[in-house]
Amino acid sequence: MEEAIGALILIILLIALIAACIALYFLPTIIAVKNNHSSKSTIILINIFLGWTFAGWVATFVWALDGSTYQRNG
């Protein structure tokens, strides 16, 4: 019984770790969408295709934080 509980805890921790890694990978996308960045489509595409490289992830992260947002008219 203790082995089953230990295995269940391990599975839950593994799922939480995977979810955290996915959230970290897409952090530039999340920031760009949340802030309605004017280049969010490009940031999303670069994050998806080049985010696995450290340089691609850092570039999209910095770009997402630069503060360029769409302005509402009226």
pTM score: 0.82
CA distance 65 to 67: 6
Judge residue 61's burial from the number of C-beta atoms within 10 Å of its C-beta, 0-12 exposed, 13-18 middle, 19 or more buried.
middle
Residue-wise pLDDT for 21-71, tens only, equals 999 999 999 999 999 999 999 999 999 999 999 999 999 999 999 977 766
